[in-house]
């Protein structure tokens, strides 16, 4: 996301595009780590660290939207963080792409649309608040 982008929908669309680039490479590794964590304490610690880092990234993303006044009325920073964390989960990618056969592009579009709908006010509300 470029710091200069002010349209929250475009910001989230770019996050979706980033998913297309990164998820196919990263998700298999994360799922392997998750699988190995059940039998290896060091791998379990690595998994906890990776999860915490992702949560931190999603909090920074939520802070960007919150700081610019783009979140739905009444939505807390924590709720926004948790929504972003959920939609960025390797498990969701695995369910839809790995198990259900969705293309990465379809998955990215779905995640983008869902984040926009969950986090941002309806378009008419955004347009009104921008004027």
> 5, 11 in Cβ contact below 8 A?
yes
Task: Report yes or no on 41 lying in a domain.
Answer: yes
Task: Report yes or no on 103 lying in a domain.
Answer: yes
SS3 68: coil
Task: Report yes or no on 2 lying in a domain.
Answer: no
What range does the domain containing 104 cover? 8-130
Q: Which string of b and e fits 95-112 if b means at least 16 CB within 10 Å?
A: ebbeeeebebeebbbbbb
Task: Report yes or no on 3 lying in a domain.
Answer: no
Q: What is the pLDDT, as a whole number, of residue 53?
A: 96
User: Which CATH number do you get for residue 117?
Assistant: 1.10.357
| Angstrom distance (rounded) from CA 96 to CA 7 | 28
Q: What is the pLDDT, as a whole number, of residue 131?
A: 45
Q: What is the pLDDT, as a whole number, of residue 125?
A: 57
| Angstrom distance (rounded) from CA 34 to CA 47 | 6
What domain count does the chain have?
1
**How much is the pTM?**
0.86
Q: What is the pLDDT, as a whole number, of residue 5?
A: 74
DSSP 72-86: PTT--HHHHHHHHHH
Q: Which stretches of the chain drop beneath a pLDDT of 50?
A: 1-2, 131
């Amino acid at each position: 996301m470029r710091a200069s982008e002010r349209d929250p929908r475009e910001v989230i669309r770019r996050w979706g595009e980033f998913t297309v680039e990164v998820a196919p490479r990263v998700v298999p590794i994360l799922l392997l780590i998750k699988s190995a964590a059940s039998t290896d304490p060091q791998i379990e610690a690595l998994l906890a660290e990776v999860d915490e880092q992702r949560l931190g990234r999603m909090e920074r993303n939520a802070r960007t939207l919150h700081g610019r006044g783009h979140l739905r009325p009444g939505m807390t920073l924590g709720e926004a963080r948790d929504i972003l964390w959920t939609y960025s989960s390797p498990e969701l990618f695995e369910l839809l792409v790995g198990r259900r056969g969705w293309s990465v592009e379809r998955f990215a579009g779905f995640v983008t649309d869902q984040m926009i709908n969950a986090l941002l006010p309806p378009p008419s509300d955004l347009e009104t608040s921008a004027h």
